[in-house]
Structure 1
């Protein structure tokens, strides 16, 4: 018996119900017309379990909290806290430990939100279902459904389980969340081929989809985890989210830096004690001072601030970031996999072509706004000059049940989107539904039904003459017609001409409707099927499409210029996908691959295919997930967009998952890293620009911070090696770090994006945080800072022998050099000796001003002099300090000039920058 199974049955274990006739399904599931008895339902429920999705396995709150501390950035902060505690700087220790705790709490909260994706999918299951049990109609809790139950569906119902339909009456189901199909699907009871895509299985209704019209009866064939929705839930729960490229880079950078610092500290301790004979206690404190100067304790804070500022900027551009590291990851993406409907397109069906017997008209304007005109040969024409066009437009407006209306400046359609497109066409030519109905009132109609594939309406014109209009599938309407309307009147129908035109329109990816009419009264007073047999005149074929967004076309071009591949992965038909792709410059001259073809490929073949194909159609959740994985396995950083439950697994797996905010399901939003508030692909391109700017600013900060720490470390190492009095005390080292990290470095987080940022190639995913060039820059500036600080220190010691003044000069020389180097750091290669370079970021000027005040306080206030051993400086001594800063500034700018004139700068700027 077919219901012998266990609760772990998956959708793959199910028979191909969509291939079976209804009678066979009834027999295999032993489902009689009277439905299951209550006893049989209970027995089956003990085998299959309840019709609900199992909750995901999650870690407890304590384990989730502890896991937040397993982070290289927090290790760096903790190490900094240990150093400051060892030196007795308890305020600094408290601040660092507080930052560690805050970071852990933020991560804890974000991880809790990630689990909500699975909750959102489970929420799609309806709570109640109408069934036939024991010969009577009953409403039961949807969780009690079992295979073999007979479920009744009506307009507005959410399908409670996977059903094989056995009776259908004008049933249309919105499956967009599950399949990506842009329009509601007409359902039948007919079986289809075994390998038919999910969206083509017209005899099935799947759990979680929505009935938008009609009625049906179906037999439950799968419940709970065995449904298509359950299968997606299982896929989603089994996907491990990958670390972002930045976090991987910082992790590697932190490990290498930690090893270098430990080696330097150990070498310093050994040299001082074994070679120079200094006391071990003194050298231990020197080693700690060296560590304090080398540890980039400002990096975690600056990363957080820079990413947070990126989040704010993106939010102003309608991109809501849910996971902080995703801000930067967007800047490193090499491939964007985009859904079609509503993201690249408007999700507003639009008439683009009207083919009459003698003329082919193009229609301008997109979307539901009635703005546009009919064009013939590239020139606008008035429809009344062409009777077939005028009557075709009138028939489309009259033979219509949709409604077009405006709210707050936005146009909306109530009803079928295809019918809405015909109303918009009428509006563009001045024929509104109201005007048409007043002049030619409707007397009767035959509503659209999938069995006969047309709609018909009966009208009377202003002279009292009768008209019957029909619209529907071209092959069905052509069967009724024996004539066609030309500008000179009726002509015999030319079937070959219309078939050629239909093929041409379909090849453009447009959906087809045929319009016809008959000047006659219904045979029996009311419109019936006997009036629809013959005698009609064919008016036109109408080509309708969900057009690409104009801003998406420009955004795709921006991505291509930025070296980012754009791939379309949609659940829609291949012809439509190819046409939209061509309009967007995606996949031109390349083949399109369907989900069925993806299913036949092994992983190696798929990795090769995804490099050469840009359009994927009729893609299921597994196909989308495999495509993302194949791209990642090929070394790509992948951003994935989507709005349906079927997109959730791929969204979670992608390096950056991007969900639609307006029309996206909650499951898609919760599985994503970012949500587009306007459902617009152009927003992604803007977000990529912001992401690249964030990464630039992080690299600028690191390139600013490391020479600062390096200069201090070289001063201490030189003093130890050459038996000099320490130019900087441990307390003074910490003061310099606090000033530079807390004021100067923070300003770089506010740097605007540089010109040409979207013309660079994406950086290689496996690239180290610092390239060879950046190592050179760090060493060069570190040596310059050491030269200035140590030079002034030795000059003062040789001239006056005043240790306090010499150390005060050294501290101010390092800080002054950092102030000037901050200006250099506003751009890694571009010159800053211009107005924009010196004043373009007001936060830099504010940071320098604040730093000047702090250094004046350090130098002149008694409290600071007591704490840090500083002393007042004369104007001449300040000139020496400024000279040390100018040395760094002008040498760094000269080095930029050299680098810009070499191939190294161009290659490094395009790839490693």
Structure 2
């Protein structure tokens, strides 16, 4: 890359500057993460109940029970803090990945580096679509404009260059067009952004729909718990007249109702899901994206760099005089050399677009003398118009001038004063070349001696020089990627700025469905809403697109109740990326503006990762649903087993105390948030249609399944209760048998609910080592409670005979295994 004589800092100067001014980072005062987690924990209803129950035990003189609950508080806290730290670490890694990197010139060479490594005095390159990473003064610029809305609130971009009165650029602003080289004057907290303390860390994400639903569900359960707590306290107080005793028994039921595992499971699944995606090369910036991934019904993809390699090579040149295409390695005639030279002058002096890089390389190859250092750009017209074109005006010290333009062939033909016959011949050539999958560029130049340049580039009197054909080969894996999208019930649409023939040719080569159903941006903008919604549904290729048209497509698809994912990499993709449910930016070729607007970044620009991301989204959602269904199913029998004997005045009305409920809670917590989070994806997941993007987490059938499972387990535990009392067995034996039913049911429910479709014989083969680890710990822990004297006495259990243990285990097993018959019926339908 030509650096216009700019050398930048040397290595010793960088060290000296860093020692003097420090690193380029904002050190805002942040609350200690552990302290924040502890404060949140102290507000948890379950922790509050445990504190109250523990205090009552101590007041009542039951030191052992009080110590057990105090230990339980520590255990619950440790589990919560561990999950919180896993979530925070995952999110911190994501944040680090999404922070922008920059480019500087040091020792005359361009070097990529991290934001915090930029020092005062560096020559920072600010390119179109990137975020400016430090304050500085422009020392060189091409068609440079910057959006300063983060500082000023003004949404219009401001044009600046090294000759402007205002030559300053500021950290945090975004480059809307062109390129500038900026001498860094302030970094970190010394920047304008740093001084006013406006940090992105202060922006809090809104809760997602699923988060709100889960939050509302938990609140309702807390309310229900409060009401039942009062009823139970009143019944107990009526019978015993003891405030403390009845309060303790009421706390037992309140603990059994609270589903405090649900919010923990949700935050764990989302954060670890995002972390797993990051490991696969998919950076998720917002948690709500993880939710939306499993629902995607349409993917809108651009062509260049997503379907194709984005490795532009000059495939040939065409001048009207010869009416044929000459290959780049053939001997070029003088007219063809002029065509290549003119196209290079119409490009940016410091190229960053693959096509412009190819033109500079072609120019260097055919030109013995490099004229680029002798000429300076004195005027330019940025890419504009529909179809688009751009024009640059260069001049040397002797006053020799070049006016060069390039752009869509239709745009250049229109402004070049061609006859109808000439236009027809060139149009035929464009069709032939585009039909072979080439990307076509029109080139023209003009003579303009004065300095009063026209307001619009189209007002120059251009001479049409010819066409350049570029080839950007399709990616090798793209055909299989499309097939996997189609299998998953996801529609794919191509949205590109290229013409219809080139796009159709590439689409046909890669097995894209609907390559022959295309519409241009201009035609699309003429459609009314109803017709537009039908058109975006029926068409699959959208060509000659511009920002307004892209946004219109996204909004029309959303109006059709589609859940839209869209890929993009340029500045102009920003609005559409933000509007899509899932905005996907490219990590390598994506501009910083595209990355900021998107909710997800593909690190390697590989669309295949999007298939994996959607699979992961479906897996996370399915596993979260399994976890919450498990929580509902296992809570119901605990609630009913505690409440029914008391409400109906059975012989042992208070079969469980807080210590029993807490033991069950300590088993259930890891099961739902550790086992189910680690479950692999079921084999039919990517063969199903996308799940509807509805406002409720569970449909009535799923909720009914969980309630039914819970009620049957409750019926089993109450049956064993009655069975024990029928034989006049004491309260300790009855309690132990009922508790054994619940423990057994919990173990088998964990296994059964690993799939609501496949049998336990299939799911037992799923690779998830945590299943047997957690179940093993559960069984061993319960065995210790039954057969170690002090523990058994503390929990007020009694050793069971072989018959009592068998009946309890069998009832627990049968109260869950019946669901396998329903799954078998579902598979055979």
Alignment TM-score, normalising by the size of structure 1: 0.59
Task: Give the whole-Å Cα distance in 2 for the aligned partners of 1:744 and 1:102.
Answer: 15
Whether 2:735 is the aligned partner of 1:755: answer: no
Whether 2:507 is the aligned partner of 1:594: answer: no
CA contact (8 A) 2:49 2:255 kept: yes
Task: Give the whole-Å Cα distance in 2 for the aligned partners of 1:637 and 1:685.
Answer: 15
Task: Give the whole-Å Cα distance in 2 for the aligned partners of 1:544 and 1:760.
Answer: 40
Q: Tell me what 1:861 maps to.
A: 788
Task: Give the whole-Å Cα distance in 2 for the aligned partners of 1:610 and 1:240.
Answer: 35
CA shift for structure 1 position 887 = 0.5
The match for 2:628 among 702, 707, 720 is 702
Task: Give the whole-Å Cα distance in 2 for the aligned partners of 1:504 and 1:255.
Answer: 66
1:198-347 paired onto structure 2 within 5 Å: 207-210=176-179, 243-266=207-230, 268=232, 282-347=245-310
Q: Tell me what 1:831 maps to.
A: 759
CA shift for structure 1 position 603 = 7.6
CA shift for structure 1 position 86 = 2.3
Change (3 A) 1:547 1:693: same
Aligned residue for 1:394, secondary structure, equals: coil
Task: Give the whole-Å Cα distance in 2 for the aligned partners of 1:895 and 1:281.
Answer: 46
Change (3 A) 1:164 1:748: closer
The match for 2:709 among 781, 790, 794 is 781
Aligned residue for 1:869, secondary structure, equals: coil
Task: Give the whole-Å Cα distance in 1 for the aligned partners of 2:550 and 2:442.
Answer: 35
CA shift for structure 1 position 853 = 1.0
CA contact (8 A) 1:159 1:208 kept: no
CA contact (8 A) 1:126 1:159 kept: no
Q: Tell me what 1:555 maps to.
A: 481
Q: Tell me what 1:660 maps to.
A: 586
Q: Tell me what 1:801 maps to.
A: 729
Q: Tell me what 1:42 maps to.
A: none
Aligned residue for 1:592, secondary structure, equals: strand
CA contact (8 A) 1:118 1:237 kept: no
Change (3 A) 1:153 1:659: closer
CA shift for structure 1 position 353 = 9.2
Unaligned runs of 5+ residues in structure 2 are: 1-27, 55-68, 103-114, 124-133, 149-156, 164-172, 182-197, 342-350, 378-389, 394-405, 414-420, 444-464
Aligned residue for 1:344, secondary structure, equals: coil
Aligned residue for 1:714, secondary structure, equals: helix
CA shift for structure 1 position 769 = 1.7
Aligned residue for 2:299, secondary structure, equals: strand
The match for 1:682 among 602, 608, 613 is 608
1:159-558 paired onto structure 2 within 5 Å: 163=159, 207-210=176-179, 243-266=207-230, 268=232, 282-349=245-312, 393-395=329-331, 417=354, 500-506=428-434, 510-512=438-440, 543-558=469-484
Change (3 A) 1:128 1:842: closer
Task: Give the whole-Å Cα distance in 2 for the aligned partners of 1:643 and 1:784.
Answer: 54
Compute the RMSD of aligned alpha carbons: 5.9
1:735-750 paired onto structure 2 within 5 Å: 735-743=663-671, 746-750=674-678
CA shift for structure 1 position 758 = 1.2
The Cα offsets for residues 510-554 of structure 1, whole Å up to 9 and x where unpaired, read as 324799xxxxxxxxxxxxxxxxxxxxxx9x987434344242333
The Cα offsets for residues 877-907 of structure 1, whole Å up to 9 and x where unpaired, read as 33223212320343121122234455xxxxx
Task: Give the whole-Å Cα distance in 1 for the aligned partners of 2:595 and 2:412.
Answer: 43
Task: Give the whole-Å Cα distance in 1 for the aligned partners of 2:511 and 2:805.
Answer: 61
CA contact (8 A) 1:76 1:295 kept: no
Unaligned runs of 5+ residues in structure 1 are: 1-58, 131-140, 146-150, 168-177, 180-205, 213-233, 361-387, 403-413, 427-432, 454-470, 479-492, 516-537, 903-913
CA shift for structure 1 position 848 = 1.5
Task: Give the whole-Å Cα distance in 1 for the aligned partners of 2:532 and 2:225.
Answer: 45
Whether 2:807 is the aligned partner of 1:880: answer: yes
Task: Give the whole-Å Cα distance in 1 for the aligned partners of 2:529 and 2:204.
Answer: 19
1:24-43 paired onto structure 2 within 5 Å: none
Change (3 A) 1:164 1:844: closer
1:887-902 paired onto structure 2 within 5 Å: 887-901=814-828
Alignment TM-score, normalising by the size of structure 2: 0.64
Q: Tell me what 1:372 maps to.
A: none
Task: Give the whole-Å Cα distance in 2 for the aligned partners of 1:794 and 1:250.
Answer: 36
Whether 2:718 is the aligned partner of 1:790: answer: yes
The match for 1:822 among 738, 742, 750 is 750
The Cα offsets for residues 406-445 of structure 1, whole Å up to 9 and x where unpaired, read as xxxxxxxx99845987999x9xxxxxx99xx9xxx98679
The Cα offsets for residues 119-178 of structure 1, whole Å up to 9 and x where unpaired, read as 999x9x999999xxxxxxxxxx99889xxxxx974699999975599x9xxxxxxxxxx9
CA shift for structure 1 position 794 = 2.9
Count of matched residue pairs: 665
Task: Give the whole-Å Cα distance in 1 for the aligned partners of 2:442 and 2:720.
Answer: 89
CA contact (8 A) 1:472 1:514 kept: yes
Which 10-residue stretch deviates more, 845-854 or 106-115?
A: 106-115
Task: Give the whole-Å Cα distance in 2 for the aligned partners of 1:633 and 1:746.
Answer: 38
Q: Tell me what 2:66 maps to.
A: none
Task: Give the whole-Å Cα distance in 2 for the aligned partners of 1:262 and 1:579.
Answer: 66
Change (3 A) 1:329 1:68: farther
CA shift for structure 1 position 819 = 0.7
The Cα offsets for residues 780-838 of structure 1, whole Å up to 9 and x where unpaired, read as 22223223322333333333522222212211210111111111111112112x25535
CA shift for structure 1 position 855 = 0.9
The match for 1:90 among 70, 77, 91 is 70
CA contact (8 A) 1:637 1:765 kept: yes
CA shift for structure 1 position 266 = 5.0
Task: Give the whole-Å Cα distance in 1 for the aligned partners of 2:37 and 2:543.
Answer: 40
Aligned residue for 2:814, secondary structure, equals: helix
CA contact (8 A) 1:319 1:683 kept: yes
Task: Give the whole-Å Cα distance in 2 for the aligned partners of 1:547 and 1:278.
Answer: 84
CA shift for structure 1 position 578 = 5.6
CA contact (8 A) 1:153 1:211 kept: yes
CA contact (8 A) 1:728 1:810 kept: no
CA contact (8 A) 2:215 2:263 kept: no
Q: Tell me what 2:696 maps to.
A: 768
CA contact (8 A) 2:268 2:673 kept: no
CA shift for structure 1 position 683 = 0.5
CA contact (8 A) 2:72 2:662 kept: no
Aligned residue for 2:330, secondary structure, equals: helix
The Cα offsets for residues 482-515 of structure 1, whole Å up to 9 and x where unpaired, read as xxxxxxxxxxx99977753432333566324799
Task: Give the whole-Å Cα distance in 1 for the aligned partners of 2:551 and 2:205.
Answer: 13
Whether 2:773 is the aligned partner of 1:846: answer: yes
CA contact (8 A) 2:554 2:580 kept: yes
Change (3 A) 1:390 1:618: closer
CA contact (8 A) 1:727 1:793 kept: no
Change (3 A) 1:744 1:629: closer
Task: Give the whole-Å Cα distance in 2 for the aligned partners of 1:675 and 1:245.
Answer: 22
Change (3 A) 1:592 1:581: farther
The Cα offsets for residues 834-877 of structure 1, whole Å up to 9 and x where unpaired, read as 25535643321222212111111221224422432223333333
CA shift for structure 1 position 645 = 3.9
Aligned residue for 1:296, secondary structure, equals: coil
